[in-house]
Amino acid sequence: MLLRMLEEASVLLWASLLVLAAPVSGPLAAVYKSVISVQPPWTTVFRGERVNLTCSGFHFYAQEKLQGYRWFSGKARPRETPGNTLEVRDSGQYRCQAPGSLPSNPVHLIFSSASLILQAPYSVFEGDELVLRCQKRGREKLAVVKYTWNRKIISGTDESFDLLIPKASLNNSGCYQCVGFLENAYVLKTSQINIQIQELFSRPKLEVTDSQPIEGKPVNLSCGTQLPLERPDTRLHFVFFRDNGVMISNRSGSPDLQITAIWREDSGSYWCGAETVTGGIHKRSLPLQIDVQRIPVSGVLLETQPQEDQVVEGETLVLVCSVAKGTGNTTFSWHREDTRESLGQKSQRSQKAELEIPVIGESHAGRYYCTADNGYGLIQSQAVNVTVRRDGFQGDIIRRPLTVGPPGPFNPMCPAPVELQQLYINVHPRERDLVYSEIQISQPGAEGEANTFRTSLENQHVSVVYSEVKTQL
């Protein structure tokens, strides 16, 4: 008695594990049931016939390791067999357990003594072929056979006594009965059989990592479904949709989809679909609303490259407008403060944009500012002052010797002839055509004394006097 109680408790424990360990469509599927197959494939046969049960399992690590196959029959003591086949002749409920698998679902067999029986398969999943067979005991043959479904006649033929549904659906579940007509007009009826078509996989459920994601962030979608433990190898394809059936993914064996960056215009109703690889069974999830959140722009800043007080005439000025916060498509605009003139505009998904002024001139000096707007209102930066300066001299000065006359009353302080020396290395390109025609180099002496002239420019007290400058065209 104690042994039987322990065995029944073990069966209940396995049954509780079935709920917790049901395989899913992803990589978590790891726990499987044993499966019984029936041959001949009917749960109702005539008394005196034999039925062979075959137990199949999907091996995984189990707490209980069986040496053989365990069989359960009602309240009888379980028994083990070295092989996976058991021959039965008695009505009852049978289950099996293969090594490394959970116990199977029960099979209820009927060995009938009736004259007419309706034979149905043990287990039918949606998409399977459903065959019902009306059988009469004895030599007298049936003339006509009709089938009823939920008390409605659904078939009647003189050619075949089988009822065939090529691709069963959940809607085909119900009570079936067979009505046979003999040649002498005698009518036989079978008992009603309740046939329940099982789901091949559950209705998918769409899940999202964040239903209100921040714009520009990644979002992961998952289309979860559950396979029966008897059909763990069923292959499915998944596809994802948005709003009115807009497909956002190709059919794939993976139930997951990653959107690398989602934007506000991607807000809407999302749903997913799952289907068998053969395309026979299709199911879709309930819709899921995703509302993408946009962050308004703030902290608008205008910077210049080079800095505003180091801009040289003729060079390129770059105005850089940036925002500290803000997502989505932002419209940047650049302006002069004095004229409010728009210098340019750019719209892009970025927190920074640049405007380039290729050749800067003195007319470009002034104060500048920029604005940014991503749909929540225009935000203006503080103005920056741009000062344009002319660069130092560049290039060599044209040099030539000076010829002067001898000292005289009209030229009492005339120095000796000197050659022009290069004063500056850097001369602006526009000033390369300047020619210095006369240079005096003098050093003041004591009061009342004649000045002493020098030809060297190295003395730090020397003062340079340009007496004439002309342009060589």
Residue 295 resides in a domain: no
Which pLDDT band, with edges at 50, 70 and 90, does 285 fall under? Answer: very high
| CA-CA-CA-CA torsion sign (150, 151, 152, 158) | positive
Predicted local confidence at residue 233, as pLDDT: 84
Residues 308 and 278 grouped into a single domain: no
- R_g (Cα) of the chain, nearest Å: 49
Residue 296 resides in a domain: no
User: Where among 354, 370, 389 does a domain terminate?
Assistant: 389
Predicted local confidence at residue 406, as pLDDT: 53
Which pLDDT band, with edges at 50, 70 and 90, does 186 fall under? Answer: confident
Q: Which of 326, 346, 332 is nearest to 215 (CA)?
A: 326
Which tops the pLDDT comparison, 158 or 269? Answer: 269
Residues in Cβ contact with 10 at an 8 Å cutoff, skipping those fewer than 6 apart: 64
Q: Which domain holds residue 103?
A: 2-195
Residues 312 and 330 grouped into a single domain: yes
Predicted local confidence at residue 173, as pLDDT: 95
Which pLDDT band, with edges at 50, 70 and 90, does 391 fall under? Answer: confident
Predicted local confidence at residue 326, as pLDDT: 95
Is the pLDDT at 410 greater than 60? The verdict is no
If you average pLDDT over residues 184-196, what whole number do you get?
A: 90
If you average pLDDT over residues 59-82, what whole number do you get?
A: 77
Strands (E) across 323-429 are located at 330-336, 342-348, 352-357, 366-373, 379-380, 384-386, 388-389
Residues 117 and 265 grouped into a single domain: no
Predicted local confidence at residue 308, as pLDDT: 79
Residues 416 and 385 grouped into a single domain: no
Is the pLDDT at 472 greater than 50? The verdict is no
Residue 108 resides in a domain: yes
Cis peptide before 306 (omega within 30 of 0): yes
Residues in Cβ contact with 205 at an 8 Å cutoff, skipping those fewer than 6 apart: 223, 224, 225, 285, 286
Q: For the chain, what is the mean pLDDT?
A: 79
Residue 96 resides in a domain: yes
308-312: long-range contacts at Cβ-Cβ below 8 A with a sequence spacing of 24 or more?
A: 308/384, 308/385, 308/386, 308/387, 309/385, 309/387, 311/360, 311/364, 311/386, 311/387, 311/388, 311/389, 312/360, 312/388, 312/389, 312/390, 312/391
If you average pLDDT over residues 434-439, what whole number do you get?
A: 46
If you average pLDDT over residues 379-405, what whole number do you get?
A: 66
Which pLDDT band, with edges at 50, 70 and 90, does 68 fall under? Answer: confident
- Encode 355-378: b = buried (16+ Cβ within 10 Å), e = exposed: bebeebeeebeeebbbbbbbeeee
Predicted local confidence at residue 63, as pLDDT: 53
**Per the structure, how many domains does the chain have?**
4
Which tops the pLDDT comparison, 123 or 15? Answer: 123
Is the pLDDT at 446 greater than 80? The verdict is no
Residues 305 and 418 grouped into a single domain: no
CATH number reported for the structural domain that contains residue 381 in this entry: 2.60.40.10
Share of the chain above pLDDT 70, in %: 73
Predicted local confidence at residue 126, as pLDDT: 94
User: Where among 358, 389, 420 does a domain terminate?
Assistant: 389
Which tops the pLDDT comparison, 161 or 198? Answer: 198
Residues in Cβ contact with 362 at an 8 Å cutoff, skipping those fewer than 6 apart: 313, 388
Predicted local confidence at residue 331, as pLDDT: 96
Predicted local confidence at residue 425, as pLDDT: 44
Predicted local confidence at residue 33, as pLDDT: 82
Residues 286 and 309 grouped into a single domain: no
Which residues does residue 268 pair with via DSSP β-bridges, in sequence order?
A: 290
* Threshold 0.85, pTM exceeds: no
Residues 14 and 123 grouped into a single domain: yes
Residues 328 and 408 grouped into a single domain: no
Predicted local confidence at residue 48, as pLDDT: 93
User: Where among 175, 195, 215 does a domain terminate?
Assistant: 195
pLDDT digits (tens, 9 = 90+) for 290-312: 999 999 999 999 999 998 788 89
Which tops the pLDDT comparison, 434 or 53? Answer: 53
Backbone dihedral angles phi then psi of residue 92, each to the nearest 5 degrees: 155, 180
Predicted local confidence at residue 12, as pLDDT: 38
Residues 179 and 50 grouped into a single domain: yes
Q: Among the listed ranges 104-118, 260-274, 403-417, 439-453, which one has the minimum average pLDDT value?
A: 439-453
Predicted local confidence at residue 26, as pLDDT: 41
Predicted local confidence at residue 159, as pLDDT: 64
Predicted local confidence at residue 100, as pLDDT: 82
Residue 238 resides in a domain: yes
Predicted local confidence at residue 156, as pLDDT: 59
Residues 429 and 355 grouped into a single domain: no
What is the distance of C-alpha 349 from the center of its chain? 19
Is the pLDDT at 144 greater than 80? The verdict is yes
Q: Cβ of 330: how many Cβ atoms within 10 Å?
A: 23
Predicted local confidence at residue 31, as pLDDT: 61
Predicted local confidence at residue 241, as pLDDT: 96
pLDDT digits (tens, 9 = 90+) for 197-237: 999 999 999 999 999 999 999 999 999 999 987 788 899 99
- Report the Cα–Cα distance between both ends of the chain, in Å, rounded: 126
Residues 383 and 434 grouped into a single domain: no
Which pLDDT band, with edges at 50, 70 and 90, does 401 fall under? Answer: very low
Residues 87 and 222 grouped into a single domain: no
CA 315, CA 309: separation in Å to the nearest integer?
A: 13
Is the pLDDT at 4 greater than 50? The verdict is no
Residue 265 resides in a domain: yes
